[in-house]
Amino acid sequence: MQHKTSRTRFSFSSAISTNYNLTTSTQPPDPQIFPQEISVVIEHLPSGKASCIDEIYNLLIKIIDKRFYNIFPTLFNKCLHLSCFPDSLKKGNIILFQKEIKDKRLASSYRPVSLLPTIGKVLEKLMT
């Protein structure tokens, strides 16, 4: 058994580069989101949806993406670099839809829907 262990150690030690130093190695660069990736996600946004608390409609986001192509990549890459998902992109409006043929006096007769900022949805989609 001891003989096998020393052979295994020898195999691993010969496979590891002697030039690699854990104390001086640098971290990998930040991941980057490219404008093309953002445009693909934005193109698939439905145009007729309601706006959120930010009152920015999907159609406006599509126009901004086409005319000012550096705005969203700059914003999203800064979020990645800072490891931050801004609070303003998490805040939404909750609206209640009454379920059909239910007593409107009961809370269980309503279905909550959260309207979140579309820019936050785009960032979330790019990160997953």
Give CA–CA dist 30/77, Å, rounded: 9
Q: Which two tokens stand for residue 71?
A: 């705005």
Q: Is residue 92 part of a domain?
A: yes
Q: Is residue 8 part of a domain?
A: no
Domain assignment of residue 81, given as a range: 35-98+109-127
Mean pLDDT of 79-84: 92
pLDDT above 70 covers what percent of the chain?
77
Q: pTM for the full model?
A: 0.68
Q: pLDDT band at 12, cuts 50/70/90? A: very low
Helix and strand numbers, DSSP H then E, in the chain: 5, 2
Q: Is residue 40 part of a domain?
A: yes
Q: Is residue 119 part of a domain?
A: yes
Count of the separate structural domains present in the chain: 1
Q: Is residue 28 part of a domain?
A: no
